[in-house]
Structure 1
Amino acid sequence: MSNKVAVYRKEHFNSAHRLFNADWDDEMNKKVFGKCSNPHYHGHNYELIVKLVGEINPKTGFVMDMKLLSDVIQEQIIERFDHKNLNEDCNEFAQLNPTAENIVVTIYNILSQHIDPVLKMTVRLYETERNFVQYPA
């Protein structure tokens, strides 16, 4: 039997964004994105859950030290996106519509550069209590 264990770290951040396609007029953006296309933006209290699956290290008893995981998330994600306007303040979304789907893939790609690739990572992002996305699916 394998000693693979899933560990989870939950964090949160607050960001504003606007969903829109620059190739469309305001009417089409409103039709597709509704209130989320408000030109004055709107915000969310995002909840982020990072799941890592791996073998327990026999020397530490950890899959990954959760303090280290928290530090990586804080440094790479929270400091980058918390209390920011994703459209205006974050280079990652200069040419990318900051939908929940695009945000979760972006977060995954950033974190994957700092997490041991032997660990299987999944990122789940709650935009509201009822709407969330996960990558990989």
Structure 2
Amino acid sequence: MIYITRREVFSASHRIYNPQLSDEENFSLYGKCSNPNGHGHNYTLEVTITGEVNPETGYLIDLKKLKSIIRENVIDKLDHKNLNLDVDFLKDKIPTSENIVLGIWNQLAGKIPNGKLYSIKLYETENNYIEYRGE
């Protein structure tokens, strides 16, 4: 079994808050991340797929094709966007890294023509990342 990872970066802003809670409750729960004016991150995304090498091509997948799939389905939708307001697949969700990773997974699931989606890893900072490997 081969594992291939493609790394992409994007910048986005968001406000972590639950609209059903008061500003005081949100601040108590999320701290400065619930700033009403939001804040931003330079995210690093790693998408890993797995499968067998095609003996005719020597590839699991052409990396240019994987790049195109990730950019079209994820990066173009997230880069320089407000995650609370601009991203359809995060509508009505609190844009925590956990929910962003789940949303990215759902954007890519079923779109990998060779192999299968193995994991999504999202670095919010150089010290914090979230990884999801499906259910």
Q: Which TM class, normalised by the smaller chain length?
A: over 0.9
- Does the 8 Å CA contact 2:61/2:115 hold for their aligned counterparts? no
- Does the 8 Å CA contact 2:13/2:38 hold for their aligned counterparts? yes
Match of 1:18 among 4, 15, 19: 15
Tell me the SS of whatever aligns to 2:43.
Answer: strand
With normalisation by structure 2, the TM-score equals: 0.94
Which residues in structure 2 correspond to 1:97-116 (within 5 Å)?
97-116=94-113
- Does the 8 Å CA contact 2:121/2:131 hold for their aligned counterparts? yes
Aligned-CA RMSD value: 1.3
Separation in 2, partners of 1:93, 1:104? 10
Moved more, 33-42 or 112-121: 112-121
Q: Which runs of 5+ in 1 are unaligned?
A: none
CA distances 1:56-99 after superposition (whole Å, capped 9, x unpaired): 01011111111100001111111100000010111222200000
Q: Which amino acid in structure 2 is aligned with residue 7 of structure 1?
A: I
Q: 2:42 aligns to what? A: 45
Q: Which amino acid in structure 2 is aligned with residue 43 of structure 1?
A: G
How many pairs were matched up? 134
Match of 1:126 among 116, 123, 127: 123
Q: Which amino acid in structure 1 is aligned with residue 64 of structure 2?
A: K
Identity %: 43
Q: 2:64 aligns to what? A: 67
Separation in 1, partners of 2:88, 2:54? 37
With normalisation by structure 1, the TM-score equals: 0.93
Q: Which amino acid in structure 2 is aligned with residue 41 of structure 1?
A: G
